Amino acid sequence: MFKELSDAVVTCKKDVVTAAVEKAKGEGIPAPEIIEKGLAAGMNEVGVLFERGKLFLPHVMMAAGAMEEGVALLEADMPKDAVSKKLGVIVNGTVEGDVHDIGKSIVSTMLQSAGFEVHDIGRDVPLQDFVDKINETNANMVGMSALMTTTLPGQKEVIEMLKEQGLRDKVKVMVGGAPATQAWAEKIGADCYAENASEAVVKAKELLL
């Protein structure tokens, strides 16, 4: 049944997902398991297919929409504290001086599709705005993109600002963008580096769940 639920999400069709969820409920499978082992597993597969060029961004969004419909059918059966609970709150943006937008937006979309509450604050974002948005949304992760070697140091500066304002221990830091590397992430004290959008989702889950 879990495979059927997962495959339903990969079809990206709401009616297929809702039918699979109703069937799983009828078989007495607990709602949290339907979501975790079925629907969420399907979204993971959608992410893999996106990176392999087999599914595209509209499909990712359609699959996410279909999964939301499926989850809505299960809300009444979910433990009260689990209803509408997001996986985490993430502030995501491209650092000041850097106008690159598309890769960062794909990461935001994939994180949102995976169940995170994402606040995409755009590109060429003043560094203080990252800190302000973290405070405003009570975020537990910040994602910073930089596509140029000249703007990369902005990621380091935000980490320093988080330390100065006593936020560093409360917020996980993810960095990415073409010139960013694992070595760079380690050097500046980030919690992780993600090579692409799918890896960003995997790393965010590892750090926040």
Cα–Cα dist 114/81, whole Å: 19
CB of 67 to another protein, least distance (A): 12
Of 65, 71, 76, 56, the residue nearest 14 (C-alpha) = 65
- Say if residues 162 and 176 touch (Cβ distance below 8 Å): no
> 130 or 193, CB closer to another protein?
193
Distances (CA, A) of 86 to 69, 134, 152, 156, 177: 15, 16, 30, 28, 25
Q: Which residues of 97-120 are buried (b: 16+ CB within 10 A; e: fewer)?
A: bbebbebbbbbbbbbbbbbbbbbb
Of 52 and 80, which CB lies nearer to another protein in the complex structure? 52
Q: Please, what is the minimum distance in Å from the beta carbon of residue 1 to another protein?
A: 27
State the nearest-atom distance from the C-beta of 176 to another protein, in Å: 11
- Min dist. Cβ of residue 157 to another protein (A): 17
CB of 108 to another protein, least distance (A): 6
**Residue number, 167 or 202, with CB nearest to another protein:** 202
150/165 with CB nearer another protein: 150
- Least Å distance, CB 81 to another protein, is 27
Its sign, for the CA torsion 189, 169, 201, 65, is negative
- For another protein, the closer CB: 96 or 120: 120
Instruction: Kindly list the distances between the CA atom of residue 149 and the CA atoms of 105, 123, 177, 193, in Å, as whole numbers in the listed order.
Output: 20, 16, 10, 16
Binding site for another protein (CB under 8 A): 50, 52-59, 61-62, 64-65, 99-102, 105-106, 108-109, 112, 118, 120, 148-150, 178-179, 181-184, 195
Whose tokens are 């140029």? That residue is 148
Residue 54 or 170 having the CB closest to another protein: 54
Q: What are phi and psi of 63, to 5 degrees?
A: -65, -40
